[in-house]
Structure 1
Amino acid sequence: MSIASPLVLTDLYIYPVKSLGGIRLTEAAVGARGLCHDRRWLIVNERNQFMTQRQTAAMVHLKVEPAYNGFLLRHQARPDLLPLFVPFAATPDKTLFVTIWDDMVFASRARPECDEWLSEALGQPCKLVYMSDMVRRDVEPELNPEGQLVSFADQYPYLLIGQKSLTDLNARLAEPVGMDRFRPNLVFAGGEAFAEDSWQEFYIGDVAFRAVRACGRCVLTTIDQRTATKHPAAEPLRTLASYRTQRGKVMFGQNVTGPTSGTIRVGDTLTVTSYKSAVASEYAGV
């Protein structure tokens, strides 16, 4: 009789600026909007609309490095641009309304030199803005009656992916891809491929989380995170679509909510305490 391997948290990531590079952590504090410092900054265009790699693939070149009480932005292809320091939080001196998907939220402006640096780095006018603790942006209310909040992340505070799920995908690809294509916060080892699809309530260490629904993937997954080039055959999205399509969306990973406080660490055990009553298993190609 085989013994199931334990579920263990292997990677923790935050993305201080939405759609820019991530920072890998060994431990992270949990806040009301997700992991502390995750996607609290956002780049917007001249119309104050959010920018991502979907439309501006050159954002791949902007790497994020940890620094004391903040982080550094570095352009990997432009050594002439000196690294830019950005604090974890902005002062609320200047504010404006910005649009992210269907939401319009209040945001604080960064220092003018941040806007200048980013405009030069991306070759178009843009601004850097911050979401303060006073801002309320709700997770989908119909699925979250608890009133969970989210930062500038697309929809949910956390994205969870099992390492076995990526292994399953890579076994079907001519050229394997890294986990960075999918921008998770939480990566775990153990269990079967796509085991996370069936989870509902689970703990990481002693911190409780809830897997709400699968995450629909987009063209961003086809962008090489080293070169900013899109795959000519739209991989891995094309292969994922062949066996992970549901209701017209390609699913990979779980959108997750959590508590307002706590600390999680790489090496923590994951314990699943309840499962979804109806798992969405009717994927194309299965």
Structure 2
Amino acid sequence: MSGARGAAALSLRAARPLWLWGAAVAAVLGALLGAWRWAGGRSRAGKRRGRLQRVGTVLSLSVYPVKSCRGVAVRKAEVTPMGLRSGELRDRFWLVTKEDGHMVTARQEPRLVLISVSSENGHMILEAPDMKPLSVPVKLPRKNPVRNCRVFGVDIQGRDCGDEVAQWITAFLNSEPYRLVHFEPSMLPRKSKDMINLFRTTDEVAYPDCSPVLIISEASLEDLNTRLEKKVKIENFRPNILVTDCSAFEEDTWEEIFIGNVELRGTVCCGRCILTTVNPDTGVMDRKEPLETLKSYRLCDPSEKHLYKSSPLFGRYFAVDKTGTIQVGDPVYRMVQQ
């Protein structure tokens, strides 16, 4: 018996390196297959070829259902042509307006950033300090009127979400009467090109400033905070995708990137405004920082003043070339031309 056991043990020891070798080969083949799929897919699509270079990792994902209200952190998101989606919540598909349809953001009402958003059973739930939670159906009754709205000077429609939520928002902000509207897929979106000419005619948004996706790197925020007496959070800047494992402002150089099965194309940097000075925890507008510090070292090249004027740059806008799904932890690749 002892001889048989010894022979079996020897057999296992001899087999173990083969097993490890087989696993290593499988891992290498898997990586090569992934690279082949990226390159082959692009070749079949008739696009220019290049090599992929890993430039970072997705650290966090955020959807901002109501423009200027708090974002919703998610582990996974669908990337649609008009921005991120998580379940029934789509990025900036709801908008606070004046009764005449003009948009209202935290630039005018800083306390909007204190309104939290979630979803449950076909409803969007709004919560705010000293207010009872309010439930708003995602699919609104057809009897609710469609309103004509203005977002950065461009016309767009939205279906009115009703008197109850209008009164709730007005009471919380202690303001003139405001309404809440929802963009529906059957409505005509705004053309990004109408805001910034460098976008393509196919790039469209609902209520975002101009672009479906905004990306910032963790290193850029850390660089800024080394220059500030009072540190700021990433919530001051409201990106959809926060990337780690890259250098500060490296995102400015990304022209064509891949995350999960999604392809994104860099368009322009994000010119920053007074909204960045709103404290996301208190809803108080500072009006100076971090904007003044950004202006000291993040102004555009003089040749681009027609685009950004005097706004400092922080983060980069991306258009969607290929839809799909992304999640926290996904590697970020850029295409390097050969």
The letter for the 2-side match of 1:15 is Y
Q: Secondary structure at the match of 2:205?
A: coil
Structure 1 position 128 matched with structure 2 position 202: no
Quote how far apart the aligned CAs of 1:106 are: 1.7
> Which runs of 5 or more structure 1 residues have no equivalent in the other structure?
276-286
Quote how far apart the aligned CAs of 1:112 are: 2.1
Q: Distance in 2 between matches of 1:272 and 1:86?
A: 40
Q: Distance in 2 between matches of 1:170 and 1:230?
A: 18
Query: Structure 1 residues 88, 220: closer, same or farther in 2, change over 3 A?
Result: same
Contact 2:84 2:91 in 1 (8 A): yes
Contact 1:30 1:262 in 2 (8 A): yes
Contact 1:5 1:191 in 2 (8 A): no
Match of 1:83 among 105, 109, 133: 133
Q: Distance in 1 between matches of 2:336 and 2:105?
A: 35
* Counterpart position of 1:162: 217
Structure 1 position 241 matched with structure 2 position 295: yes
How many residues were matched structurally? Answer: 268
Contact 2:58 2:243 in 1 (8 A): yes
Return the TM-score normalized by structure 1.
Answer: 0.89
Contact 2:192 2:201 in 1 (8 A): no
Q: Distance in 2 between matches of 1:263 and 1:41?
A: 22
Quote how far apart the aligned CAs of 1:32 are: 2.4
Q: Distance in 2 between matches of 1:70 and 1:239?
A: 41
Match of 1:59 among 82, 96, 112: 112
Quote how far apart the aligned CAs of 1:100 are: 0.7
Quote how far apart the aligned CAs of 1:71 are: 2.7
* Counterpart position of 1:254: 316
> Which runs of 5 or more structure 2 residues have no equivalent in the other structure?
1-52
Query: Structure 1 residues 260, 106: closer, same or farther in 2, change over 3 A?
Result: farther
Q: Distance in 2 between matches of 1:121 and 1:47?
A: 20
Q: Deviations over 1:129-176 (max 9, x none)?
A: 011112221111632335111120011011100000000000111111
Query: Structure 1 residues 92, 272: closer, same or farther in 2, change over 3 A?
Result: farther
Q: Distance in 2 between matches of 1:91 and 1:25?
A: 28
Quote how far apart the aligned CAs of 1:260 are: 6.1
* Counterpart position of 2:254: 199
Which has the higher mean CA deviation after the structures are superposed, 91-100 or 200-209? Answer: 91-100
Q: Deviations over 1:99-126 (max 9, x none)?
A: 1111111211113211121121122201
Contact 1:30 1:259 in 2 (8 A): no
Contact 1:9 1:266 in 2 (8 A): yes
| Pair member with larger Rg | 2
Contact 1:5 1:190 in 2 (8 A): no
The letter for the 2-side match of 1:207 is V
* Counterpart position of 2:84: 35
The letter for the 1-side match of 2:278 is I
Contact 1:202 1:274 in 2 (8 A): no
Contact 1:97 1:107 in 2 (8 A): yes
Q: Secondary structure at the match of 1:245?
A: coil
Match of 1:24 among 73, 76, 80: 73
Which aligned runs of 4 or more in structure 1 are off by greater than 4 angstroms? none
Q: Distance in 2 between matches of 1:89 and 1:156?
A: 24
Match of 2:150 among 99, 106, 109: 99
Q: Secondary structure at the match of 2:95?
A: strand
Q: Distance in 2 between matches of 1:42 and 1:147?
A: 23
* Counterpart position of 1:7: 56
Q: Secondary structure at the match of 1:159?
A: strand
* Counterpart position of 1:50: 103
Q: Deviations over 1:67-118 (max 9, x none)?
A: 3334311112x1xx21011234434431110111111112111132111211
Match of 1:212 among 254, 260, 267: 267
The letter for the 2-side match of 1:117 is W
RMSD: 1.8
